């Protein structure tokens, strides 16, 4: 039987839809950890989750979908030094990914999808979105320090670092 163009498009659409549902549909489970230079911005990270729950944060073509954001009760092996090293080192990214996806707690049954780490470099706050999947590129977003205390601008920069990261399937 010959498939018509209409049937082919329908089958492709259904296939893509099933693939998109492979991970959790509730959004990213995110760990956040500040580099030593960026500790003054920790409250902005905590506010990010509340702001996203109140009204979806968007940035360009993306909307940020956060299920949870943890800044405390993180795995003890998850340090700012490891997270920042993972930005430039594939072996560290792989190690970080195993820590993120392997973590379990009462409230987090399947581990973290990603980590948001951030540091001050010169006159910029640099935010890095690092997936627990080591084959996903690190996403970097920068914000001038003069704008970093503006929560809306901070949220937009964080969205740019996180929104394109995948929600990982439960192991």
> Mind giving me the DSSP string for 124-137?
EEEEEEEESSTTSP
* Contact assessment for residue 97 and residue 134, using Cβ atoms and an 8 Å cutoff: yes
pLDDT of residue 169: 67
Whether pLDDT at 84 is above 60: yes
Return the percentage of the chain with pLDDT > 90, whole number. 72
pLDDT value at 40 more than 60? yes
pLDDT of residue 73: 87
Where are the domains positioned within the chain?
26-162
Asked whether the whole model's pTM tops 0.75, one would answer: yes
pLDDT tops 60 at residue 24: no
7 pLDDT more than 50: no
How sure is the predictor about 20, in pLDDT bands with cuts at 50, 70 and 90? very low
How high is the pLDDT of residue 170? 62
Q: Are 78 and 96 in contact (CB under 8 A)?
A: yes
Residues contacting 57, CB < 8 A, separation 6+ = 48, 51, 63, 64, 155, 156, 158, 159
Instruction: Report the DSSP pairing between strands 28-34 and 114-121.
Output: parallel
Question: How far is it, in rounded angstroms, from Cα 123 to Cα 104?
Answer: 37
84 or 26, which is more confident: 84
Please state, rounded to an integer, the average pLDDT across all residues of the chain: 85
Kindly report, residue by residue over 97-135, the tens digit of the pLDDT. Answer: 999 999 999 888 889 999 999 999 999 999 999 999 999
Q: Residue 22 pLDDT more than 80?
A: no
């Amino acid at each position: 039987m010959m498939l018509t163009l209409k049937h082919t498009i329908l089958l492709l659409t259904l296939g893509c839809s099933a693939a998109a549902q492979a991970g959790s549909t509730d959004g990213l489970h995110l760990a956040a950890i500040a580099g030593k230079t960026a500790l003054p911005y920790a409250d902005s990270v905590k506010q990010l989750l509340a702001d996203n729950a109140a009204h979806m944060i968007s940035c360009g073509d993306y909307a940020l979908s956060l299920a949870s954001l943890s800044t405390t009760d993180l795995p003890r092996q998850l340090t700012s030094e490891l997270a920042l090293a993972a930005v430039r080192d594939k072996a560290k990214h792989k190690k970080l990914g195993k820590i993120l996806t392997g973590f379990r707690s009462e409230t987090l049954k399947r581990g973290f999808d990603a980590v948001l780490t951030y540091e001050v470099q010169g006159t910029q706050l640099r935010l890095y979105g690092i997936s627990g999947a080591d084959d996903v590129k690190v996403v970097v977003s920068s914000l001038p320090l003069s704008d970093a205390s503006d929560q809306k601008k901070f949220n937009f920069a964080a969205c740019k670092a996180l929104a394109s990261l995948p929600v990982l399937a439960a192991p």
